Structure 1
Amino acid sequence: MFFKTKKAKPAAQDDGAKLMASVVDRTQAVVQFKPDGTILAANGNFLAVMGYRLEEVVDRNYAMFAGSEVAASAEYKAFWQDLANGEVVRGQFPRRAKDGATVWLQVAYAPVKGADGAIDRVVAVATDVTVRRQGLQEIAKGLDAMSQGDLGARVKLSDQPDIGALGEAFNRSAEQLETAMGSVTQVSGAVQRTAGEISKSAGDLSQRTESQAATLEQTAAAIEELTETVQSSAEGAQKVEGIVIEAKATAEHSGKVVKDAVEAMSQIETSSEEIAKIIGMIDDIAFQTNLLALNAGVEAARAGEAGRGFAVVASEVRALAQRSAGAAGEIKQLIGESKQQVASGVDLVGKTGEELQQIIESVGTISTHISRIAAGAKEQATSLGEINMGVSQLDQVTQQNAAMVEETSAASRLLSADAGQLTQEVAKFKTGTPLASAPAAEVVQFQAPAAPAADGFGAAPLAAAHGWDDF
């Protein structure tokens, strides 16, 4: 029973192997060739894919399905070396059909050893992935166009459901990206214009602020000088006020002196009248003395020799009386003139007193006004000091504002430059939205990205649809 079972197992395995070989033969493209590349056999699927008949490929070298350039490459030699070492090689490879078209095959090259352990043949089991590959290459072309800034590129949908879904997703994404970039283009243009206007306004504001700061600085200096001048004027007004007060006191004292002088002149006038009365009395006495001397002389004449001496005395007394009367007349005349002069002096001194009183009143008025002026000047000095302080603070704030405006102007210029850079970057993309509303920007040459690395299957970049970079 045991040996029966042992005998039955190889038969089952043979049947399974035949079944799998049959399935592979029916579903896959299979080709067999020697280690040197001589083709031993090829199934119908392989021949149908490549467009040959069996007799056209048997005993020919497998290199017939590769281009001469690929066949001469180092990679192709390494491929054969790996097979010779018994290694299985898998990947997607481009192969050339009979009509010259490129056929992409998903291949597994499996070396088969003989009884002696040496590589007897290589069996290649392949699947035609040309349609899938073309669909991927179509999407690769679209991605390459998108990488170059062309957002209007659309891909042809593949018949393969998954690749077709991927292409459809690409087209939707490209459409949405084109719409978004169109909006970004419009917005970037508006941002650039706005940034330019802000930059220009900030520049103008900076200039005006600098001018205002300079003007305010000059104003502050002028107000400071005016403050010093008003302070000096206030001090001068206070000094003048003191001088006027002293002058008023002196004038009042002078008025009192004039008043005393008027009183003294009045007393002199009164004394002159008394003297005039006395002189009149003296004049009367001289007149009576003269009469008495005249009578005495008449009586002495009557007495003759006896009254001669008395007559001489009477004559002398008469002469003295006449001289006294003359002197009294002269004094009376002088006193009269002096009285007139004293009266005139009293009148003049009175008028002087009146004028001096008016001067005192005027000086009082001037003193009042000067006091008001001094007080006003002091208040003006105080106010100007406060104004000067306020202007100084305003000047400081204006200087700070000028510095801030300068920083804002620099930021605006940077924003304008960034907006211009954004516009230039957006201009690299080709969309259906015109860039008419955006301001003119310097054109920057687009730098093509570096070529992508080969895919995981050993294929060339997807954009190279018919490249022969692989073996």
Structure 2
Amino acid sequence: MSTSGRPNFSEDTLQVLLDAFDPKRTLEADLLAIWPIIRDGVDQDVHEFWRPFGGRNTPYRLDQDEIAELVRRDVRYTELKFTGGLNAKLIAKMVRRGRASSKDRATEIAFTAGLLRSYHARHQRLFKAFVADPATLTRLTQSLYTLYALENSVLLNGAALQRADQELADAAEQRSKLQAIDRSQCWLEMTTDGIIVSANDNFLAAMGYSLKEIAGRHHAIFCFEEDRVSTEYAQFWESLRAGRFMQQEYRRRTREGADVHLQATYNPILDQDGRTVKIIKWATDVTAMRLAERKESDRAHRFRLEAETRRAAHQDTLAELADIVDNIGAVTRQTSMLALNASIEAARAGERGNSFAVVANEVKALSGRIKDATVQASAVLNLGQRSFGT
């Protein structure tokens, strides 16, 4: 293992491989002797290796050009294994092939099975060449399968490295996501019986507790008395234990007895058999938002009351004005009658009534102007009444 905690397989392990698979350091010479015997069939071996990976009906969907390129490179790689010597560069190639094989379990199996088929085919050619020389056949066969064992070991280790790297990357991503949630939300971990196991700082701050004060106690400490004893609360826990996800806004009680509003999800955590093993609560404190909504609602209510008060006062004023206009109208009618009577009397008096007639005409003109003003006032009054729906 490296100091970073991840598996390590690098050039430094070449010596370990040689000590394990070629302690007498005879493998390279044997592989050089094997190569001329197996060389003519390598192209076919490599084609057979890659055949399961080609075509639209396979999971890998490699086309003919891609297969041809892989075969070309693999033929060269096979030659290096037998003629280039066991060196760090060759081991690195084996590791990369192992990493490539770790795409999924099926790919890894296909790689290892294809590798074994290739070595069996090469052993058949070796057997035909040395069937009359059992001692040489035995020695070279052992070296051939020693190379297979070494390559397969490195291949599997490369696959393990790739999986380990992916697991580390996934774990780092998961930690990052959890840290982001932890920074922005409240969470509470409980047993299936509602006993508190742990909580983050956001939750503790919202509820006014320390972790020491709540660990080992029941979730009910965050509920008001009417909620704790309710049938709904008992059914709530029955649903969670049954594995049902719960989500809504909940009113909860702080350590000091104040209201806290939490938009929360209660998440049953299941084991491999589908049994609920714990409950995780994720929540967002929406108390400030609810208080702001309540404050805005109160302000709107006050505004409506003030508007109603102003409306009532305005209606009272309009009513008073209506009375005044009616009175003025009555005076106008009476003044018009007086002017008419005065004109009649002036006419009866002849020349002696000339001065009286002048006064009667002025009264009549004044009455007309008052009538016009009364009509205008009535129109304005009607407009005001209509604007208030009266």
- The two structures have a TM-score, normalised by structure 2, of 0.41
Which of 1 and 2 has higher RCO (CA within 8 Å, sep 6+)? 1
Structure with bigger gyration radius: 1
